[in-house]
Amino acid sequence: MSNMRPVQIRLHSRYEGEDVLQEMQGEAVLKGSVLYVRYEEPQAGPEGGITRTTLKLGGQSIKIIRHGEVESEQTFELHRKLPGFYRSPYMSFALSTHTQELELSIQGLSARAAWSYDFYRFDEESGHFAISLHIQEEPIS
The predicted structure's pLDDT at residue 141: 67
Phi, psi of 108 (to 5 degrees): 60, -125
The predicted structure's pLDDT at residue 73: 98
CATH number of 5-137: 2.40.128.20
Higher pLDDT, 99 or 3: 99
Q: Tell me how far apart the alpha carbons of residues 130 and 101 are, in angstroms, rounded to a whole number.
A: 9
List pLDDT tens digits, range 1-53: 568 999 999 999 999 889 999 999 999 999 999 999 999 987 766 677 889 99
Q: H-helix or E-strand containing 130? A: strand 124-137
List pLDDT tens digits, range 51-98: 999 999 999 999 999 999 999 999 999 999 999 999 998 899 999 999
- Number of neighbouring beta carbons within 10 Å of residue 122: 9
What residue spans define the domains of the chain?
Answer: 5-137
Q: Tell me how far apart the alpha carbons of residues 41 and 47 are, in angstroms, rounded to a whole number.
A: 14
The verdict on pTM exceeding 0.85 is yes
